Structure 1
Amino acid sequence: MESAKITTDRKVIAKGLPASPGLVSGRVHVILDPSRIDEFKDGEILVTEMTAPDWVPAMKKAKAIVTDSGGMTCHASIVSRELGIPCIVGTKSRGEAATTAIKDGIDVTVDATNGVVYEGIIESAKKPEAAASVVAAETFPVTGTKIYMNLGDPELAEKYSVLPCDGIGLMREEFIWTTYIHEHPLYLIKTGHPEKVVDQLAEGFRQVCQAMAPRPVTLRFSDFKSSEYRDLKGGDEFEPYEPSALLGWRGASRYYDPKYIEAFKLEIKAVRKVREEFGLKNLHVMIPFCRSVEECEKVTNLMAQEGLSRGKDFKVWLMAEIPANIILADQFNKYVDGYSIGSNDLTMLTLGCDRDNDTVSHIFDERNLAVRRAIKHLIEVAHKDGKTVSICGQAPSVYPEFAEFLVKNGIDSMSVNPDTVKFTKKMVAQVEQRIMLDALTGKGKADDTDLIW
């Protein structure tokens, strides 16, 4: 790289969606077959069709990531923003696919702020960093709306613990499986090593809880799809082939299933180990993709039988990401302490729009009236029974008007990626101040009557 030729010519070779901002130069490594992930080296630029959970070890080494497919809520986008890696997705929807347009082994400059890949090392991307200067300490306003943070990689917990967040609103368990465990839980049970699951999960949870203490950490139980579980060692023996894994055997439906229940019990044991053995009582849990009230009852009963019962210092949340969670919120209230709106899946299922399908990605929009009506209804019904409502997703920090809608309608908290915590904190403070000023002067904008359902 040091001997690479620097150029001032800006020859564009690929364009896509700017999923995670940044400007870097480096050597391209095109990987089309997941079996070749181990060949990827530190500091290379990863170019591929699309990433999945088992790609995370390679993604952590990458200087930048460029994909053929995907939108702003795809796996590559979400993980790159959390890792702070420049990323461009969906190049196929903007012209020629990156894996075709960008040749393996060449030097490129990735401008992920604007979604452009240039051939060669552009001079502006190689400018040395300016000497550090003395700056005033950054301060952040106190907000009535709590601002939580999303996190997947436990190793980043210490780094991000200094951010002005109120805790972890969404800890993704899947990172630990793909980065540290690598093996299917049922395979480990079959081979006599279930303790590997408990110990590795507990260690990951401990890292995050310890770094964030005394702030709360909400762990989302595993939400792999069958196709992703199959990629773990031994997974072929236990996973079905589903035509639509996104709507298949995932989330809560696995936990009480006789075919998977023993694996879920290992997750419960890991949570208990952190809370009881390590004494980190700031760990709470969340149930994902729960399709019915009966399913929620089964899962919470199973948890209680295994020693995890709701109480004053242990909360159970539900991901509100299926229309049924909204429509039947008055009944779900009985079994949970609150909700976290999974705006990505909720928008997809409300609009019937595959968020990872480039052909219809332009239809996917969390600001759609149907989605906003659903969220408003959930907040109202949850609050009637003293339940809290949060949202985990990028929409509040991407669309200021969406954040204003959430605050005006009483959202209790928002959970965003680390790179937008500061921005979201300040933006929410401004929205709250505007609401107070409008109430004081009586001259604020009229409420949106379209939201009445």
Structure 2
Amino acid sequence: MSILHWLGQIPFADRAAVGEGAFYLSRLGEKGYPILPGFVVPARAFRGFLETIDWLEPLFTDFSTSSLHLDINNPRQLQAIAQQIRHVFQATELAADWLEALEGALQELRDQTTGEISALVLRPSIGLAHASDSFPSLQAQSLIEPRLCASHVSAVATMLKALWASAFRAQTLLYWQRSGIELQNIQLAVMVQPVQPAIASGFLEMSNQQLALQACWGHEWALLRGEVSPDCYWVEPGQGTTLYQPGWKPLAYGLETEIPQASPALEQWLPEPSPMMPYVLDAAYQTRMVLRDEVLEQIVQLGLRLHVAFGNTFRWTWVLGRAGREPRLCLSQVDAAIAPPEPVAGQARSLAVALPSPNAAEPKIKPASTPPVLQGIAAAPGQAIAPVHVITEAELLPSSAPAGTIWVAASIHPDWLPALRHAAGIIAEQGGRASHGAILARELGIPAVVGAAGALEAVRSGEVLLLDGDRGLVFRSPTPETSTDRLAQVTFPNGQRRPVADSGAPHPKPLPPTATQIWAAVSQVSSLERLRDQPVDGIGLLRSELMLVDLMAGRSLADWLQDPADVVARLAERIERFAAAIAPRPLFYRSLDLRAHEFPQFLGEGTSANPVLGQRGAYRYQVHPQLFELELAALGAVLARGLDNLRLLIPFVRSVEEFRFCRQRVEAAGLRRQGTFQLWIMAEVPSVLLLMADYVEAGVQGFSIGTNDLTQLLLGADRDDAALAQAYTAQHPAVRRAIAQILQTARQHRVPCAVCGQAVTDFPDLIAEWVQAGATALVVEPEAIAATQRVLYQAEQQILLQWAQQQRHQESF
């Protein structure tokens, strides 16, 4: 088994080993985007190399696991340490097994590219342990300049060590210290890619709903080193218009074989010998437009696809290579998005180029250029600029929060819903993407950042913040670029949120129906409008507890139960609105799953020692049956009105006895007499793995895998704890095997089984795996329906293709 990783073949489990840049470039290759091929030397090679060094200086004792505390105000010390590390790195031999692996990979790379490789580029790919998202890692890797070398193994080994040493230059040492990044938390991997002849290259990113594109002749080194002023293009996807600003490109970088004989090479500019050399361009090329119309259109289409699939976090490096007679466009690197150049008045002009013209995109707030004051988990997309309202522990219900403010709290409580609708944004110290507060924020279209440690101490009520829910960042008062006219487009005077219903992306042609159904997960009546034109096969999860908060009008459960008839009438009226809107497609009503820490005012109970494992779901129905019986009465009233698309989903079932209790109550309420009524359970407590056959025998008619609870219970990682965000993942082998086992067992017993929860949206790569195992439906939030349908369609087509190939193979014998 190779100890190296190949781009386009890197599983999620190896993400930390290859770093964020390589992981996302590999993801592009897996999804069919054109990428520059290559392999990755993982971070463990860097770690292993550090451990083999015999340090003589006391400062470097236990270097590979130390924090390396330095005096950052002493530039001479930083320079001396950086120089010493560089010398020691170069004097230390690379381990024999890594040299052997490199030799084999280089030969395989030659075979892939069907020709001799004259040069290689080594690019850093960093992963920072404990970072809540990709942005800090991608930002850090920009500190280390890529390296070029010849294509034999000794040159690669030498340049690999040089790149590793670059992580300890004076500049980078200063960055690590000031950013509070300890050495043991830096996972430095290296991508190794062939250098192929290039016509042009540049950068591509999305900013302010504009596609910003930079282009130069030859390879991107002239851009990286600031030696040319690139051609710049700004494309308005919503209008199909393009603004062009010519650059001045006196030189280009190329391999020796690419340099025209009449163009003088500038080797003296290089700090060290390199296979890539700058050369002077002919005067006509210095001001000529780099991209022809057809190439520009191709790059723009690629950029729009990238934006839809990956959002605004990234900057993509593209290369237009010479491959035979036709130029070949590919992506070579992924970095953190930065503010691209702005058009200069009097220099930029419109281009009459036929470009894609999707529906008009909504303007977005330009990210602040200053460092963020807070960083957390991107829980709900959108951006807002508004004053802050800090919610203290004493403020149990934030009804006094002014409308249009950004709320800052320890956590988001679902029973805040009535007041929450008026918030411009939400920042919470606790919570993850799968927490109910984050789910509610997404459904309401309120930008939210959760897991923002220290938020209550970092900000104060009244100050203005820029909240970026797309990246999980919060900035102090907006920069001048985000004020005046631009702000007037995106905020009301006291704050305005950007709804997430339409990302401004091109609307693709409708896809054919899929065998696996797509169901929506909702709780608010306002979400029904967003489902109207969506390719959805039903509502697979009506979150009753979040729906209930609206009906309660601030009353406690004990007070509400004083009038049972009113409870039934209100519940029936609300459920009927959902059932009627989605009919004849199914509506799965999940009965109440009340956790004490999320509904403290409503339940009026003391704090539970562990609310995740406390009185909730089916167990609560046995202890407090009255509310469950009122829910069943409301469902009966809806069925009696002729809405036969209703199904019941029992949450958090720990045992077959709990299910039997619920089934008996359902039968006593007369619901099973309705021919189309079905009784399902959520498969989210790990005991379900051993009890599937018993549940089916007891009368379960279907399962819906609750990946949120199943993941946290299997891994012992609280989904509401931001500190455990890296440990809490449905990509864990145990979770993947558990889901596969549930799906396969359900198929064996011929009962339907859906996959529900944040995993469907966060890990679309797993959809093919679930479909193969027997998933009959996927349950996602409204904004993820279209993207899920595209992934699902591709997965089913691939499965059909594999089946057809197997059939042909069998027939050949």
Q: Same fold (TM over 0.5)?
A: yes
- Aligned position for 1:436: 800
SS in 1 for 2:615: coil
- Aligned position for 2:664: 301
- Most deviating of 117-126 and 220-229: 117-126
Equivalent-residue separation in structure 2 for 1:7 and 1:209 (angstroms): 41
Cα pair 1:26 1:121 within 8 Å, conserved: no
SS in 1 for 2:387: strand
Structure 1 counterpart of 2:609, one-letter code:
P
Query: 1:106–1:280: structure 2 CA closer, same or farther, 3 Å change rule?
Result: same
1:45-60 superposed matches below 5 A = 45-60=406-421
1:43-92 superposed Cα distances (whole Å, 9 cap, x missing partner)? 22111111122122232222211111111211222111222221111111
- Aligned position for 1:395: 759
Equivalent-residue separation in structure 2 for 1:17 and 1:101 (angstroms): 17
SS in 1 for 2:672: coil
User: Where do 5+ consecutive residues of structure 1 fail to align?
Assistant: 1-5, 444-453
1:356-392 superposed Cα distances (whole Å, 9 cap, x missing partner)? 2233332111111111211111112212222100011
1:186-243 superposed Cα distances (whole Å, 9 cap, x missing partner)? 4333x3x1122112211211111121122111000000023445411xx43xx45431
Cα pair 1:321 1:346 within 8 Å, conserved: yes
Equivalent-residue separation in structure 2 for 1:230 and 1:7 (angstroms): 37
The answer to whether residue 643 in structure 2 is matched with residue 280 in structure 1 is yes
The answer to whether residue 517 in structure 2 is matched with residue 146 in structure 1 is yes
Query: 1:256–1:136: structure 2 CA closer, same or farther, 3 Å change rule?
Result: closer
Equivalent-residue separation in structure 1 for 2:746 and 2:774 (angstroms): 11
1:403-414 superposed matches below 5 A = 403-414=767-778
SS in 1 for 2:389: strand
Equivalent-residue separation in structure 1 for 2:745 and 2:448 (angstroms): 39
- Aligned position for 1:447: none
Equivalent-residue separation in structure 1 for 2:422 and 2:578 (angstroms): 21
The equivalent position to 1:321 in structure 2, one of 684, 692, 717, is 684
The answer to whether residue 400 in structure 2 is matched with residue 28 in structure 1 is no
Equivalent-residue separation in structure 1 for 2:636 and 2:642 (angstroms): 9
Equivalent-residue separation in structure 2 for 1:101 and 1:292 (angstroms): 45
Equivalent-residue separation in structure 1 for 2:780 and 2:681 (angstroms): 17
The equivalent position to 2:587 in structure 1, one of 217, 231, 235, is 217
The answer to whether residue 370 in structure 2 is matched with residue 10 in structure 1 is yes
The answer to whether residue 696 in structure 2 is matched with residue 333 in structure 1 is yes
The answer to whether residue 543 in structure 2 is matched with residue 172 in structure 1 is yes
1:273-317 superposed Cα distances (whole Å, 9 cap, x missing partner)? 1111x3222121100011101110111011101212175410111
- Aligned position for 1:188: 560
SS in 1 for 2:437: helix
1:72-87 superposed matches below 5 A = 72-87=433-448
Query: 1:38–1:138: structure 2 CA closer, same or farther, 3 Å change rule?
Result: farther
1:234-270 superposed Cα distances (whole Å, 9 cap, x missing partner)? x43xx4543112111111012233xx11221111111
SS in 1 for 2:676: coil
Runs of 4+ displaced beyond 6 Å: none
Query: 1:158–1:209: structure 2 CA closer, same or farther, 3 Å change rule?
Result: farther
Equivalent-residue separation in structure 2 for 1:418 and 1:435 (angstroms): 26
Equivalent-residue separation in structure 1 for 2:764 and 2:530 (angstroms): 27
Equivalent-residue separation in structure 2 for 1:100 and 1:229 (angstroms): 25
SS in 2 for 1:333: helix
Structure 1 counterpart of 2:613, one-letter code:
L
Cα pair 1:341 1:390 within 8 Å, conserved: yes
With normalisation by structure 1, the TM-score equals 0.87
The answer to whether residue 707 in structure 2 is matched with residue 343 in structure 1 is yes
- Most deviating of 336-345 and 430-439: 430-439
Bigger relative contact order, structure 1 or 2, given CA contacts below 8 A and separation 6+? 1
Structure 2 counterpart of 1:325, one-letter code:
V
Q: CA RMSD in A?
A: 2.4
1:65-214 superposed matches below 5 A = 65-92=426-453, 97-122=454-479, 123-124=481-482, 126=487, 128=489, 138-181=509-552, 182-189=554-561, 191=562, 193-214=563-584
Structure 2 counterpart of 1:438, one-letter code:
Q
Cα pair 1:177 1:183 within 8 Å, conserved: no
The answer to whether residue 715 in structure 2 is matched with residue 354 in structure 1 is no
Structure 1 counterpart of 2:711, one-letter code:
T
Q: CA deviation at 1:173?
A: 0.7
Query: 1:226–1:107: structure 2 CA closer, same or farther, 3 Å change rule?
Result: closer
SS in 2 for 1:340: strand
Cα pair 2:527 2:782 within 8 Å, conserved: no
Cα pair 1:176 1:200 within 8 Å, conserved: no
User: Where do 5+ consecutive residues of structure 2 fail to align?
Assistant: 1-365, 491-503, 808-813
SS in 2 for 1:121: coil
SS in 1 for 2:726: helix
Query: 1:241–1:59: structure 2 CA closer, same or farther, 3 Å change rule?
Result: closer
